[in-house]
Structure formats: C-alpha cells, structure tokens
Amino acid sequence: MTDNHLISEIQSTDNIIEHFNQFRQWEDRYRFIMKIGKNLQAMPVNTQNESNEVSGCESKVWLTHTKHDNQLTFFATSDSRIVKGLLWIILTPINHMDNAEIAQFDFDTYFEQLNLIKHLSPSRGAGLLAITQKIKQICQQ
C-alpha cells in the first residue's frame, strides 16, 4: 500500500523510477498504478469533453492544459483505472518542469527505465504513445 505521505514525495522521474523498480511482483506494480491514479489532479471544469479526447487509446482519455505566465500545466483523466495511474506517472514529473524541459523530455527512456511497456498490452503501449505525442505537440504550439 502506498500512503499519501509517500506519494506527495514521489514527484521527480528519479523518485518514480526508484519507487516503481522496487516492485518484484506484477501485482504490486498494478496495485501501485491503480491506487496512484486517484492522485491525479482534477481536470479543470468543463474540460472533460470530446474535443479533449485523445484518440488511439483503448479506453477513453482526456487531456488538457493551462498556461500561466507562459508555463504549461497538464491535466488528464481516463475511464480506466490503469490508464489513470499511467497518466499520473506521465504527468507528475512533467508538471514539475518548465516548458523547455518538457519539450526535451525523453518519454521513451523514462518508460524503459520504468520497465513499463513490457508489462502492458500492445494496445495500451500504443495509447501511451498517443498521449505523449499529444503532450509534445502542445509544447510546440
């Protein structure tokens, strides 16, 4: 079980990778993913709509962002608990980065270090890719 105190400390990619790699069993990995998804920041009002839906995912995924003083913050959610957890894993580190860092961020390496793709179904993997591509696109706008 991951308590909230711990979660608030897991914020950088290094933390997440370290935390994730301590799991020896798939059950623990999934438990972590499904529980941590509950800590996703709520989407801003009226943003969970069709125009923010990311296509190419097995389950429904909504992604939006805000811009304050030119700094991007991403919000996302899904109707799948597993995907919500994955979204937390994606968004938590980048929401602590400035725009330039996000644009540079190498998601592939991150996922590799998490040993993540290997444990997901191919269609989930494709969904993750669709989400990270969308984030990169937004950074370039």
Partner 1 sequence: MKTPAHILDFKAHFPLLINKPDLVYFDNAATTQKPQVMLDAIQHFYQYDYATVHRSTHTLSSDVTHQYEESRKNVAQYIGCDQPSSLIWTKGTTESINLVATILQDSTISSSSNIVISDLEHHANLVPWQQLCQKLNIELRVANTQQFQHKIDAFIEAVDQDTYIVACSHVSNALGITQPIKDVIKLAKKYNALSLIDGAQAVCHLNVDVNALDCDFYVFSAHKMYGPTGLGCLYIKPEQQSRFPPYQFGGEMVKTVNYNNTVFNDLPHKYEAGTPNIEAVIAFGAVIQFLQQQNLTLLQQYESELTRYLYQALKQRSFISLYSPIDSQNIISFTLADWHPHDVSELLNNMNIAVRVGTHCAQPVMQQLQLTNGTIRLSLCAYNTYEDAQLFLRAIDSLEDFI
Q: Which residues bind to partner 1, rule: CB under 8 A? A: 26-27, 30-31, 34-35, 58-59, 79-82, 120-121, 124
Please state the closest distance from residue 58 (CB atom) to partner 1, in A. 5
Alpha helix ranges (H) inside 25-121: 26-36, 81-94, 99-104, 107-114
Choose between 88 and 105: whose C-beta lies nearer to partner 1.
88
* Ramachandran angles phi, psi of 23, nearest 5°: -75, 130
Please state the closest distance from residue 118 (CB atom) to partner 1, in A. 12
Please state the closest distance from residue 104 (CB atom) to partner 1, in A. 31
Choose between 19 and 35: whose C-beta lies nearer to partner 1.
35
d(CA 108, CA 43): 25
d(CA 32, CA 20): 8
